Amino acid sequence: MSPAGTIMASRVVAIAAAAIAALGLSVAGAQKALVITTAILAALICVHLLLDRGWMRLPAMVSDPSPPEQATEGGGDTKGGAAAGEGGAPATAARREWGTAFKDGANLVITVEGVVLGLVFAFIGNHGTTGLVNVGAASLAAGVVLGILLYSLASGGVPSGWGSAIASLMLNLSLYALAYGLICIVAALIMRAPAS
């Protein structure tokens, strides 16, 4: 399986895992809001997969179009010649370019999740937490850890092919953790809001 195929397969697995988790929580009699937020996560991952497929098929805006798998996610393997790094310059430049992109993405995820965790502690933590807030906070903390790992790996550059596929998977997982944490916390705030 190619790196781009692995990325797509991992998203399909993430959709199935979130849907199965929502169904399992429902059968186990978990809090209704937790079941709904987990189902929303499955739908969000599905939308992300569909948008990514559409994004890859947009017409190329540059004069040197490349195959869709290489244009997004960094999932393409380059083979042969100077493009693959004989002489070192093109492969090193591509490695730095992907490294910078993944570092920026990881930095954004770490910052947003850290701010949200701080807000959860400051505003919600003082009034007691619910199970939904605890799940959301745990999801945000997991996303921070994944983001830090990705940032540390990408700071040395990301090799093309499987290296960029692994970095893309880590970024996707940290983004899904951010989304799930935000969904859980917003759901907890909505449930806590007084009826007007």
Tokens of 125: 């933590």
Asked if residue 85 belongs to a domain, the reply is: no
Asked if residue 125 belongs to a domain, the reply is: yes
Helix, strand, coil share of the chain (percent; to 5): 75, 0, 25
CB 110 within 8 A of CB 148: yes
What integer pLDDT is reported at residue 66 of this predicted model?
54
What integer pLDDT is reported at residue 62 of this predicted model?
44
Asked if residue 188 belongs to a domain, the reply is: yes
What's the CA gap between 21 and 9, in Å, rounded?
A: 18
Residues of the chain with pLDDT > 90, as a percent, come to 4
Residues 6+ apart with CB under 8 A from 15: 42, 45, 46, 49
What residue type is 148 in one-letter code?
A: I
When pLDDT is cut at 50, 70 and 90, the band that residue 34 belongs to is: confident
Asked if residue 73 belongs to a domain, the reply is: no
Asked if residue 83 belongs to a domain, the reply is: no
Q: Count the domains in the chain.
A: 1
Query: pTM for this structure?
Result: 0.71
Q: 122-148, pLDDT tens digit by residue?
A: 766 566 667 888 888 899 889 888 888
Asked if residue 175 belongs to a domain, the reply is: yes
Helix H segments across 57-161?
Answer: 68-71, 89-119, 131-154
The domain of 16 spans 3-57+90-192
Asked if residue 19 belongs to a domain, the reply is: yes
Asked if residue 77 belongs to a domain, the reply is: no
Please choose, from the candidates 177, 128, 182, the residue with its C-alpha nearest in 3D space to the C-alpha of residue 14: 177
Q: 49-85, pLDDT tens digit by residue?
A: 888 877 777 655 444 555 554 444 444 444 444 444 4
